[in-house]
Amino acid sequence: MSSAVEHAGTPPLRERVYAALRDDVVNGAVGAGTRLTEPKLAARFGISRTPVREALGRLVADGLLQREEDYGYSVVVPDLAGVRDLWEVRIAVELRGIDRCRENPGTVHDAGALRAELVRWHRMLEEPPEAGPGFVLEDERFHSTLLAASGNPELVAVLTDVHRRIRRVRMNDYVLPGRVEAAVSEHVAVGEAVLAGRLDTARHLLHQHMGASLEIVTERAGRALLATDTRDRRRGPATLDVRTS
């Protein structure tokens, strides 16, 4: 687990603590059954408890951690069946955004909004971002923009809720070599197909893109659960931190 946070430059301490802990959880350095507390983490990073508390709050909001009554925080164990159910909703909602434009000639995508978003992704094609769980926010932005461009804000509201609930496992998608580059390329292909009016192709590419991501995140989450179960049966739950009370 990361044990130090640099104090020079930006971003703020809370952002760096958040990123360090998030990466530890997603990469398995902190597994299910591990207890985290503000005092011990503050000592580990050599900082005050305030940025640690703020970082832990964000991790709870992300679904990575949960608050324990007596033991601070613990890592949330993914519910793979629930993830698959939510992914089914995600696919249905996103494909509906394409279909409503396919089925009704009077309904067209907001080309201006989509072009503006694709400018960012073409830049990423030239200079791919570093792999890491934080890329999930960029991914969510693309999918939300694409759906919003189809003109139904209620569909976007549903997708926003689904994104929040599956973000914890989706972070697993972007720690693997090549996954960020693949996502960037696939997003550009989908967006360009929509702008060209090739909606059948866009629908196929979008469906394929989301299906590939589901396979990766569930496989990684399943391996993490198996590793956690094996570890816990051998030596009991890990305890890195002390009680806050």
CA atoms within 13 A on the CB side of 129: 21
What does the pLDDT look like over 29-41, one tens digit per residue? 787 768 899 999 9
pLDDT in tens, 180-197: 999 999 999 999 999 999
- pTM as predicted: 0.76
Question: Which domains are delineated in the chain?
Answer: 13-76 (1.10.10.10), 80-222 (1.20.120.530)
> Which of the four pLDDT bands, split at 50, 70 and 90, describes residue 238?
very low
Residue 221 confidence class, pLDDT cut points 50, 70, 90: low
- Can you list the alpha helix ranges (DSSP code H) found in the chain? 13-26, 38-45, 49-61, 80-103, 111-126, 135-148, 153-170, 179-195, 199-235
* pLDDT of 56 over the 50 cut: yes
Q: Look at residue 115 in the predicted model and tell me its pLDDT.
A: 98
Residue 234 has pLDDT above 60, yes or no: no
Q: What tokens appear for 224 in the block?
A: 């993490």
Tracing tokens 């990073």 back to the chain, one arrives at: 45
